[in-house]
Amino acid sequence: MTSARPLHRVCFQLQVKPERLAEYRERHAAVWPDMLRALADTGWHNYSLFVRDDGLLIGYFETASLEAAQAGMAETEVNARWQAEMGDFFVDLDLPPDQGFLQLTEVFHLEDQLAALPTATAAAEPEPLP
């Protein structure tokens, strides 16, 4: 039996122009169906975007390979249209948004640390106080 490839957690940051923030939110309230399918088909899973009122955007998704997910989207016609329309929403971005984001480094993941605990420690009951 083949085991599933582990998913990598990808978190990234972009800055939406504050004057375009309302429109950015509207565009993401109803993303084109062919764009949604392309993302899912090319390995962008559990994908979420979060935005602050000043335009700070944080994105998160899980994928078997960031490079393969980006390459897969680059081959789709819908992604070229979407990136062309979205590019002007961002501050100081010289690349399409799906290539120009700042990837953040993960420093903590609860499930990884819980899984790494020795079995005895994970199951141990706290000692009663004297």
Count the Cβ atoms, other than its own, within 10 Å of residue 7: 14
Look up the domain containing 108 and give its range: 8-123
Euclidean distance between CA atoms 103 and 24, whole angstroms: 20
- CA distances to 10, 27, 53, 66, 122 from 75, in Å: 20, 22, 33, 14, 46
Asked whether residue 128 is domain-assigned, the answer is no
Domain contains 1: no
Q: Rounded to an integer, what distance in angstroms lies between the CA atom of residue 115 and that of residue 117?
A: 6
For residue 46, what is the domain's CATH number? 3.30.70.100
Quick check: is 2 in a domain?
no
Q: Does residue 93 fall inside a structural domain?
A: yes
**pLDDT tens by residue, the chain, 130 residues:** 444 556 899 999 999 999 999 999 999 999 999 999 999 999 999 999 999 999 999 999 999 999 999 999 999 999 999 999 999 999 988 888 888 899 999 999 999 899 999 986 545 566 677 7
Active site annotation includes 109: no
Q: Is residue 97 part of a domain?
A: yes
**Angle at alpha carbon of residue 13, lines to 40 and 11, rounded to 5°:** 50
What is the pLDDT, as a whole number, of residue 121?
52
pLDDT at 6: 62
In the prediction, which pLDDT does 120 show? 61
Instruction: Point out the catalytic residue in the list 8, 28, 45, 109.
Output: 28
Has residue 130 been placed in a domain?
A: no
Count of structural domains, the chain: 1
